[in-house]
Amino acid sequence: MKRLLTGCLVLLLLSLSLATRAETQPPATASEATAPRPGIAKVYPRLAKLKEEKTALETQLDQRADLRSLNQALENLKTWGKDWAQRENRLGTMGEWPLETLQQTRAGLLTHKDKSDQLLNEIYTRLETIDAWRNDWQEKKDFWQQWRKALPAESPLAPPEVFSQARQTIEQALARLEKQVPPLLNLQQEITDLQVSLSNQIGEIEQVLASRKNQLLEKNQPPFFSSEFYRQFQPGMFTGFENSLSRLDFFHDRFWRHRGGLVVLHLLLTVLIFGLLRSRSKRCEDRSGLHFTMRHPLATGLFLSTIALAPLYSHAPPGLLLGISALAVFSAVPLMVELFHQPLQQWVIRLLAYTYLLSRLVESLVLPAPLHALYLAGLCLAGILLLRWVAARSLRTRKEEQRRFRILLIGGMILLGMAFIAQAGGYGILAEHLLQSGLKTVFACLLASLALHLLHTGLLALANLPGFKKQQFFRRHGQELLTRAWQLVPIIVYTHVALYLMVTWRMFDSIGEAWHAIVSAGFTFGDRTISVQMLLIALAALYVTILLSRLLRKLLEEEVFPRRQMDRGVRDSINKLLHYAILALGVLMALSLAGIDLKNFAVLAGALGIGIGFGLQNIVNNFVSGLILLFERPIKVGDMIVLDGEWGTVGKIGLRSTTVETFDESEVIVPNSILVSEKVTNWTLSSEQSRIVVPVGVAYGSDLEKVLRILYEAANQHPQVLDTPPPSAIFTAFGNSSLDFELRVWTSSVSNRLIIKNDLLLYIDRRFREENVEIPFPQRDLHLRSIEDALLDKWPARSGAVTPTNAS
């Protein structure tokens, strides 16, 4: 036994030592682990395949060798950079540029930087692809070299020229790949240098913008009550003003050479809109009922064409931009005035519009500092006096609209007063910011109101087009579609105005930056961050899903189902299933777009299962019963049923309950499980045809043939009684006090049962009276077993009958 244990211990120690040696032994080298090379029979097929791969590579390289698109894009960026440098020289020192010029220039630089990023990404992708191909062909080269070494040196079956051809093919492919790299690297270097220049320029503009933000609350000018302010009036102060006139650059050669067609398009679009409105106004007989756009066709055409093409003028010279602004203001004033009915309000709108245009002109001219300060102060004082006069005139009316108007006037006077105080105290930048931002805010709100009015008018005109009116679907639901489309328009307009005002009041430097800051905000939910952008996209997806569901159901109900002549229950089932399927898909899509992983709902599903097991059996039972009703359709919408002795019509079948409308115009909510598990009488399941039974009793001794004839006559004379199945009159039984008959007739609609039965009974009663057929009433015999003595004593005196001898 000891020897056995000793042997086992020795074997265990040996196995452990071998295992330790195997673990500490270094892994096999790559050459040792290399798989055996193919046999000599595969040399020529491999060579043919290698040549085919080289041909395919050359084809792909020829397609990628064309760098004209990249060079053209780079040349456009360089040209824009040269134009930018010339424009910078014309505008002078960047610190003196108007705020809008700085913001527009920054937006243009960011756009071109994005374009350069796209070019760099494309070049990087090409270089990465070439590098992957080069590694692949290098592996092929190593493979053929090792294969040649693995074969015998004097093998007659492997001639050296085969491997020489393979080596030449691979080297040619590698050389072709190497040839593609230098041009791409040169382009990459040029674009990188251009990006550095763009980044520096963007940084300079951002520094100027940041410094202007910081200077809002800093004193940058001497105050009016100091002598230093009046020392600025010197003969040489107009030198800069003369230079500012040249900066407007109305006739910039490059713009008119490359974008001159934009002005022609502007004119053509204006003439087109003017012609359409003019011809439509001539066809209108009632001239007083014309819309204000038809009363001002030229102003409408100029305004709409200017607003539509304004983004394309972003790189226009400052003078042309000023002219476009003037054109927009002059064309918008007649239209904005039409939105207000009070003369005072119309006068204020004109005043604000022309003041806004004047401020744009002064901002572009860059007046000398003291003159600019006096201009701002005088403008503030004049505005306060004029608004005070308008407010006093508006006190004569007590309308609610005038009250709101006076509140706005008071707010404007307060803003102008703050700007005047800031300017008088030497805070010129703050005063200009308050005045310019206030004017832009008012003008932006007015333009938003005008845009909403014009868009609403355009939607109404679109809905009244003959092409839409011919469609039955649009005739029935056009108003609903118009209402739902209009719900989104104010949201879009007001959102854009809000973003513009954020930029105007210098909360952000551009609309894109403001939008990015808003949509990037969010909160952390678990290990995920949910942003506003995700929520907006999810809400939009859910809203579009609901609209799509409604639109599809309307189209099916109006266009498809009537042509197919489907049953109402089938149509309702298809509509509901389609609605629930699209809604479920929309909810899942919205959750996915919101960044919520659907795997997280596994815990919720488990909790829901436990809840169903404990307390949600009835809800699940009704839900499953609702699905059964929709698929099996034992009860359909519109069916007439009898439930617990109550007659009613099925109005709506939901997934949890069914609504039954009774004949008393009341609605009974019935759980779906009751309709599936309990007995329900459905009078219209397969057919609305039903039988009416009219019971009739006549006196004993009546002429039975005459009774049957009258019953048949009553059935035949009624127009709603069917001939097939034919009516029947049957003698059913000898009753206690009558001979019993039944008149059985059929009708095509179960809803007319009571009316038909009433008509038949009235007719039978009238004919029985005419034919002297008696309808008996029940007769009863009274048997007295005991009578009190007092009643017996009075009985002979009252009736004269013989007194019974025994009345016990």
Interval 479-523: pLDDT, tens: 777 777 788 888 889 999 999 899 888 888 778 888 888 888 877
Give CA–CA dist 465/34, Å, rounded: 77
Phi, psi dihedral angles at 234 (to 5 degrees)? -130, 160
Q: Is the dihedral of CA 711, 713, 716, 717 positive or negative?
A: negative
| pLDDT interval class at 789 (50, 70, 90) | low
Residues 6+ apart with CB under 8 A from 451: 307, 493
| pLDDT interval class at 244 (50, 70, 90) | low
Question: In this predicted structure, what is the pLDDT of residue 586?
Answer: 84
Q: Which amino acid does the sequence have at 145?
A: Q
Cross-sheet strand order for the sheet of 640-643? 667-671, 657-662, 646-653, 640-643, 681-682
Question: In this predicted structure, what is the pLDDT of residue 19?
Answer: 42
DSSP classification of residue 560: I
- Tell how strand 728-734 and strand 739-747 pair up: antiparallel
Alpha carbon of 424 to those of 75, 222, 286, 382, 439: distances in Å?
50, 9, 56, 15, 20
pTM as predicted: 0.66
| pLDDT interval class at 806 (50, 70, 90) | very low
Q: Cβ distance 635 to 680 under 8 Å?
A: yes
Six token digits for residue 297: 């066709």
Token pair 């009684």: residue: 721
* Count of alpha carbons within 13 angstroms of residue 589, beta-carbon side: 16
Six token digits for residue 436: 């310019």
- For helices 239-247 and 68-91, the axis angle rounded to 10 degrees is 150
Average pLDDT, the chain: 79
Question: In this predicted structure, what is the pLDDT of residue 23?
Answer: 40
Q: Which residues pair with 657 in a beta bridge?
A: 671
- For helices 160-214 and 99-150, the axis angle rounded to 10 degrees is 160
Phi, psi dihedral angles at 57 (to 5 degrees)? -65, -45
* Selection from 419, 407, 401, 412 nearest residue 443 by Cα: 412
Give CA–CA dist 702/709, Å, rounded: 13
Give CA–CA dist 325/474, Å, rounded: 40
Q: Cβ distance 316 to 255 under 8 Å?
A: yes
Q: Where are the beta strands (DSSP E) in 289-349?
A: none
User: Is the per-residue pLDDT at 360 higher than 80?
Assistant: yes
User: Is the per-residue pLDDT at 431 higher than 50?
Assistant: yes
Q: Which residues pair with 661 in a beta bridge?
A: 649, 667
Q: What is the CA radius of gyration of the chain?
A: 48
Question: In this predicted structure, what is the pLDDT of residue 536?
Answer: 85
CA 538 to chain centre: 9
Better pLDDT: 17 or 592: 592
pLDDT tens-digit profile of 391-404? 888 877 666 667 78
Q: Percent of the chain beyond pLDDT 70?
A: 78
Token pair 């551009």: residue: 510
* Count of alpha carbons within 13 angstroms of residue 259, beta-carbon side: 16
How long, in residues, is the chain?
Answer: 808
Q: Which amino acid does the sequence have at 12?
A: L
User: Is the per-residue pLDDT at 382 higher than 60?
Assistant: yes
Question: In this predicted structure, what is the pLDDT of residue 243?
Answer: 59
Question: In this predicted structure, what is the pLDDT of residue 318?
Answer: 73
| pLDDT interval class at 438 (50, 70, 90) | very high
Give CA–CA dist 458/167, Å, rounded: 72
Question: In this predicted structure, what is the pLDDT of residue 507?
Answer: 86
235 burial via Cβ count (<10 Å: 0-12, 13-18, 19+): exposed
Average pLDDT over residues 470-485: 71
Give CA–CA dist 722/24, Å, rounded: 102
Better pLDDT: 300 or 627: 300
* Selection from 357, 359, 365 nearest residue 327 by Cα: 357
Give CA–CA dist 356/260, Å, rounded: 28
| pLDDT interval class at 132 (50, 70, 90) | very high
Six token digits for residue 565: 């002549």
Token pair 């439930």: residue: 643
Question: In this predicted structure, what is the pLDDT of residue 60?
Answer: 87
pLDDT tens-digit profile of 75-104? 888 877 777 676 666 666 777 677 777 777
Q: Cβ distance 331 to 306 under 8 Å?
A: yes
CB atoms within 10 A of CB 686: 6
* Count of alpha carbons within 13 angstroms of residue 664, beta-carbon side: 5
- For helices 704-717 and 753-770, the axis angle rounded to 10 degrees is 140
Apex CA 440: angle with CA 435 and CA 445, to 5°?
135
Question: In this predicted structure, what is the pLDDT of residue 137?
Answer: 92
Q: Percent of the chain beyond pLDDT 90?
A: 12
- Among the ranges given (122-136, 318-332, 462-476, 785-799), the one the predictor scored with the smallest mean pLDDT: 785-799
User: Is the per-residue pLDDT at 611 higher than 70?
Assistant: no
* Selection from 737, 732, 727 nearest residue 698 by Cα: 737
Question: In this predicted structure, what is the pLDDT of residue 414?
Answer: 94
Helices (H), 284-317: 292-295, 297-309
Question: In this predicted structure, what is the pLDDT of residue 377?
Answer: 93
The continuous run of DSSP H or E covering 650 comes out as strand 646-653
Question: In this predicted structure, what is the pLDDT of residue 602?
Answer: 62
User: Is the per-residue pLDDT at 441 higher than 80?
Assistant: yes
Q: Cβ distance 315 to 111 under 8 Å?
A: no
- Among the ranges given (131-145, 469-483, 635-649), the one the predictor scored with the smallest mean pLDDT: 469-483
Question: In this predicted structure, what is the pLDDT of residue 601?
Answer: 62
3-state secondary structure of 729: strand
Q: Cβ distance 742 to 729 under 8 Å?
A: yes
Six token digits for residue 59: 């084809």
Question: In this predicted structure, what is the pLDDT of residue 240?
Answer: 58
pLDDT tens-digit profile of 526-576? 667 778 888 888 888 888 888 888 888 877 877 777 777 666 666 776 777
User: Is the per-residue pLDDT at 595 higher than 70?
Assistant: no
Six token digits for residue 707: 């009774």
Six token digits for residue 494: 């007001």
Q: Cβ distance 205 to 109 under 8 Å?
A: yes
Give CA–CA dist 212/204, Å, rounded: 12
